[in-house]
Structure 1
Amino acid sequence: MSVATDRSAARRTREPGTPPRSLVALASAALVAGTGLAIWVLPAETGGWARAGRPPHARVGPPHLTTLPAADRAPGPALPSPVGGRPSGFVTFVDTVRDPLYNLPRAARQSNVRWFTLGHLTAGQHDCTPEWGGGQEQDGNPVAGRLGRLRAAGGDAGLAFGGPSGRELAAACTDPGRLTAAYRRAVGAFGTTYIDFEVRDPGDGETVLRRAGAIAALQREAAARGRPLTVSFTLPVTGTGLSPRDEAMLRSTREAGAEIAAVNLLAPIWRAPTGQADLRPVASAVRAAHPQVARSLGEPTAWHRIALTPVLAGSQDLTAADARKLVAFTTRNGLAWLSTRGAAPTSEVTRLLTAIAR
């Protein structure tokens, strides 16, 4: 009997109710395809994740609580929760106007830095509208536009108001309500949990109280949402410590209800006659500022409330040995964090500075 005849006979002897093999194969293929589709559309694990385009854990609020800039609201996987809280370890400052090509997520991967500070926001053409460098709209900054991808990589960044140029927002915006709203818009737009005030001139008493009142209001609002807002002040320091006006400003700000987490000291690097960096004046300046910070913040001791930021005139201002000394000084005294300003240190020095324990 031929093979064809045998197969025909097998089909004729199939038990009643048994579907043809071709139909079984077709149904199996449909089941596999349907299962694959079901798995594809299932929601991913949500532990530590949030919907794309909105800072994680942010609540839907009034119109001023905006989401991240449009550049970070592209379709795709939701972003993990940012580091949040307050800076620690080594904090990289980024001048977003002078260095518009700075890539936050790439820098985080290459340097192992988790915290950045983005500056500076000052008063724009309209006194109560903060802009980058006083001339670039908040959502038009390419560096800040990468903040979402930085958070996806496990990092975070704060916003720096003030700085060496432009009009400080609290001095330019004399209406307390509009000033508070201006800070609120900036904080909400970038979903940040940390802001810094780099005050080169503390201003008169009214300016100090306007700024303090706005900070206190924002911190109350943030606490009510369950996302505390960390605030620091960046101030210049000399061999005698802080200036009396800066010390008084800190005290008045704290007494007005604002909580100051840290005072970041800008300390210029001194050069010895040999041309080498001399870090002893930096250490002396920090020690001189310590009792001033403690008194201003109403603390018996304030080492953990002090951050140190050496200001470099050139990339060679710090050697590898200097970097190790700075890290040791920061760790030994329990300072809040370490950073640098001015010229970028060499790659070797950067690697040593960023190795500081977080």
Structure 2
Amino acid sequence: MRRPRPLRALLAALCTVTASAGLVLAADSAAHAAATPLPAHVFAPYFEAYANDSPADLAQKSGAKYLTMAFVQTEAKGSCTPYWNGSTGQPVSASVFGADFATIRSRGGDVIPSFGGYAADNGGTEIADSCTSVDSIAAAYEKVITTYDMARLDMDIEDNSLTNKAGIDRRNQAIKKVQDWATASGRPLQISYTLPTTTGGLASSGLAVLKSAKTAGAQVDVVNLMTFDYYDNASHDMAADTQSAATGLYDQLAALYPAKTPAQLWGMVGVTEMPGIDDFGAAETFTTADATAVYNWAVGKGINTLSFWALQRDNGGCPGTGGSDTCSGIAQDPWYFTHTFASFTGGGGPVADDFSLAVAPGSASVAPGGATTATVRTAVTSGSAKTLALTAAGAPAGVSAALSPGSVTAGGSAQLTVTAAASAAPGTYPITVTGTAGQLTHSTTFTLTVTGPGGGGGALVNGGFESGALAPWTCESGGAVVATPAHGGAYALRTAPTASRTGECAQTLTLTPNTKYTLSGWVQGSYAYLGVRGGASASTWTSSAAWTKLSVPFTTGASGAVTVYLHGWYGQGSVYGDDLSVDRN
């Protein structure tokens, strides 16, 4: 999973949790209330504990009753002391997250602490890699359990932790000790392992973790597959790959635990998705349609855990951006993936009617006197399809926004038409599109830019790419906004030509009909083509290792519609563009 490295103390602390501490914690727990077991089927998205968000606040806003808290780590390699995010400022203490967890429980949910994570596994601060005492590792697990009264611990093991055999064995021996302690204390306790996967099941390294657990006598209740970041340079149907990976895991578990029934084996399976574009890039994009497919499959199979990385990503704030910690990289309603998966908790199956709403493209520019259109798409996320009343609000004076039809059944689409009168003032305006079914309402935003004198000097939206995202540009696979090289500001556009495509990135504009314009911008790379097509046709190109300015004069046709594009040439390497604009002559 994509995660920042943990915070480090300036000086490594000595290992302070000892074997005797485990006995003290065990004694203290006698007076502690027993934790409530988790449901047989639970949706528990990961929560980035290193962010400044409140777990209870985001749980309530999103509708996620259960959270997987990432991550518990040591502050330095060699330490045996657990901290949230490896930060000595966030000790395992009721004063850190305790109030949030209590609030989540008061609403009928709970929390699963997760040990490890990529940064800790890579840097040696995963506690079983860092600490060489099995008793001290067990005491650290017990401390988390008793401090927060937890019913499940998750072990996120990847990267270097998958090849550290000593750490793998210590971890499983410590788990066995904690399970024996929990049984003697009358505490319910589950252990889950979160592991990377291939599309056919666990790699040999992940399977070795489970074999070590069996040898140690440690019970693994859930094996949670990270069904993303395959990094195999293949195209992926992410929903289908989730199912094939889980089926491969099922077969592996059947070989490890031959006495278990099929229902019991599927009841050990968990999957964690990465909504939108994962760290690898656009070839591994988990779509809103994939979410529905995975939900239905998970309910049908009766798997134990459904999750995703991470709750803070469940919004459409950065279309075209991969691997962000704060947004999914695709157009979506806020909390779409949470709303789709939430009813999995319990016995599975929809518990309420709900829908999602999205508009594509999410933005456009028009000149005064022009018009543009976008598609409003809806989908059923749970329950049955309802009739949705559609409205558009927020258009400024001189701009009208109309929806046709004005109502649809969830799952249907409508066309948004935005028209700017000749009197419309240049500027950028958010238009809110809302769908309503009874008391249930969802909204999304379409951003309109009215061009002209005083309107910023150009008709292109995001021509300098300073939003940090592609929208409203669309690119062939591999196209992205990058920080280096940039001509002006902090970002530029990168195209990704291959042997079979030019790597084109494009944006469609509606300009004033029968009018002269100039497309201009700075480009870098071999065979960099800048041009327009559609209602006009003109282009130019250059090959240069340095930033070079290109200008393309053109005249619009009767419709005023043109498509602006930048691309390279087959097999000639990346082409970069920045500070692009379309200006009226």
Residue matched to 1:164 = 118
Matches within 5 A, 1:275-290: 278-290=238-250
Does structure 2 retain, via aligned residues, the 8 Å contact 1:270–1:279?
A: no
Describe the shift of the 1:357–1:127 C-alpha distance in structure 2 as closer, same or farther (beyond 3 A).
closer
Matched letter for residue 102 of structure 2: G
Match 1:93 to one of 22, 46, 50: 46
Identity score, percent: 24
Aligned-partner SS, 2:111 = strand
Residue matched to 1:350 = 338
Residue 325, structure 1, aligned to residue 293, structure 2:
yes
Aligned-partner SS, 1:322 = helix
Matches within 5 A, 1:76-225: 83-85=36-38, 88-97=41-50, 99-104=51-56, 106-125=57-76, 127-135=79-87, 136-139=90-93, 142-166=96-120, 167-200=125-158, 201-225=161-185
- Deviations 1:163-195 (CA, angstroms, capped at 9, x unpaired): 111221111100122222122212211111110
Give distance in 2, aligned partners of 1:233 and 1:67.
27
Matched letter for residue 138 of structure 2: T
- Deviations 1:78-137 (CA, angstroms, capped at 9, x unpaired): xx986433563311211111x232232x44444443321111111223610011121232
| Long gaps (5+) in structure 1 | 1-60, 69-79
Per the normalisation by structure 1, the TM-score is 0.70
Residue matched to 2:193 = 233
Matched letter for residue 54 of structure 2: Y
Give distance in 2, aligned partners of 1:67 and 1:177.
17
Match 2:271 to one of 308, 311, 316: 308
Does structure 2 retain, via aligned residues, the 8 Å contact 1:88–1:115?
A: no
- Deviations 1:2-50 (CA, angstroms, capped at 9, x unpaired): xxxxxxxxxxxxxxxxxxxxxxxxxxxxxxxxxxxxxxxxxxxxxxxxx
- Deviations 1:196-220 (CA, angstroms, capped at 9, x unpaired): 0000123443322211111111111
Matched letter for residue 172 of structure 1: S
- Deviations 1:249-292 (CA, angstroms, capped at 9, x unpaired): 20121221111111000001789xxx996422222222222211
Q: Of the two structures, which has the highest relative contact order with CA contacts closer than 8 Å and spacing of 6 or more?
A: 1
Describe the shift of the 1:153–1:188 C-alpha distance in structure 2 as closer, same or farther (beyond 3 A).
same
Root mean square deviation, CA, Å: 3.2
Match 2:227 to one of 247, 258, 267: 267
Give distance in 1, aligned partners of 2:131 and 2:54.
30
Aligned-partner SS, 2:37 = coil
Give distance in 1, aligned partners of 2:239 and 2:229.
7
Matched letter for residue 115 of structure 1: Y
Describe the shift of the 1:190–1:228 C-alpha distance in structure 2 as closer, same or farther (beyond 3 A).
same
- Deviations 1:42-73 (CA, angstroms, capped at 9, x unpaired): xxxxxxxxxxxxxxxxxxx96425989xxxxx
Give distance in 1, aligned partners of 2:237 and 2:251.
26
| Long gaps (5+) in structure 2 | 1-21, 316-333, 347-585
- Deviations 1:201-251 (CA, angstroms, capped at 9, x unpaired): 234433222111111111111112222210000001112311112102201
Residue matched to 1:13 = none
Aligned-partner SS, 1:321 = helix
Describe the shift of the 1:323–1:199 C-alpha distance in structure 2 as closer, same or farther (beyond 3 A).
same
Aligned-partner SS, 2:168 = helix
Higher Cα radius of gyration = 1
Does structure 2 retain, via aligned residues, the 8 Å contact 1:239–1:284?
A: yes
Matched letter for residue 314 of structure 2: A
Matched letter for residue 344 of structure 2: I
Shift of 1:294: 2.7
Match 1:244 to one of 204, 208, 212: 204
Matched letter for residue 255 of structure 1: T
Give distance in 1, aligned partners of 2:217 and 2:131.
20
Describe the shift of the 1:83–1:278 C-alpha distance in structure 2 as closer, same or farther (beyond 3 A).
same
Give distance in 2, aligned partners of 1:162 and 1:314.
23
Describe the shift of the 1:203–1:329 C-alpha distance in structure 2 as closer, same or farther (beyond 3 A).
same
Does structure 2 retain, via aligned residues, the 8 Å contact 1:161–1:168?
A: yes
Aligned-partner SS, 2:119 = coil
Give distance in 2, aligned partners of 1:270 and 1:208.
23
Give distance in 2, aligned partners of 1:266 and 1:155.
23
Describe the shift of the 1:276–1:252 C-alpha distance in structure 2 as closer, same or farther (beyond 3 A).
closer
Does structure 2 retain, via aligned residues, the 8 Å contact 1:66–1:185?
A: no
Does structure 2 retain, via aligned residues, the 8 Å contact 1:222–1:229?
A: yes
Describe the shift of the 1:278–1:93 C-alpha distance in structure 2 as closer, same or farther (beyond 3 A).
closer
Does structure 1 retain, via aligned residues, the 8 Å contact 2:179–2:218?
A: yes
Aligned-partner SS, 2:44 = strand
Matched letter for residue 38 of structure 2: G
Per the normalisation by structure 2, the TM-score is 0.44
Shift of 1:154: 1.8
Aligned-partner SS, 1:260 = coil
Describe the shift of the 1:256–1:337 C-alpha distance in structure 2 as closer, same or farther (beyond 3 A).
same
Structure with greater helix share of residues: 1
Residue matched to 1:21 = none
Give distance in 2, aligned partners of 1:86 and 1:202.
29
Does structure 2 retain, via aligned residues, the 8 Å contact 1:84–1:156?
A: no
Aligned-partner SS, 1:121 = strand
Matches within 5 A, 1:3-82: 63-64=24-25
Residue matched to 1:341 = 309
Aligned-partner SS, 1:195 = strand
Describe the shift of the 1:142–1:101 C-alpha distance in structure 2 as closer, same or farther (beyond 3 A).
farther
Give distance in 1, aligned partners of 2:28 and 2:110.
16
Does structure 2 retain, via aligned residues, the 8 Å contact 1:266–1:308?
A: yes
